Amino acid sequence: MHIPQSNSGDAPGPDLCAGRKVTETHKTLLWQVLSDDPTCPSRLVLHALAETPEPMTVTLRHINRLRQAWGLNRGKGRPRRVDGQKKR
């Protein structure tokens, strides 16, 4: 049985169909924020979205799920210090 595969070359971004809690425009805004800085912590993304003219009612968990689905998740663990600085 042949399984149709989506062609990733046709769509530059993720599937942004509206869900139960997040509309298509909210997902577009979230995609823009995450694609500008994929290493930004989800907590700061949540604060940035709260400052928009039309605030979204999403949780940190929902943002993390969308990041995982879109492939924009951060690496595991605590971020390293710059220039290998050690704590004194």
pLDDT digits (tens, 9 = 90+) for 55-83: 778 888 989 988 988 888 877 777 666 66
**H or E stretch at 46:** helix 42-50
On whether residue 36 sits in a domain, the answer given is yes
pLDDT digits (tens, 9 = 90+) for 27-50: 888 899 899 988 888 899 889 888
Question: Which pLDDT value is given to residue 17?
Answer: 65
The total number of structural domains in the chain stands at 1
Residues with Cβ within 8 Å of residue 72, at least 6 apart in sequence? 34, 35, 38
pLDDT classification of 11: cutoffs 50, 70, 90: very low
On whether residue 83 sits in a domain, the answer given is no
Residue 20 clears pLDDT 70, i.e. is over it: no
Question: Which pLDDT value is given to residue 56?
Answer: 79
What residue numbers bound the domain in which 60 lies?
A: 24-74
CA triple 38-52-74, angle to 5 deg: 15
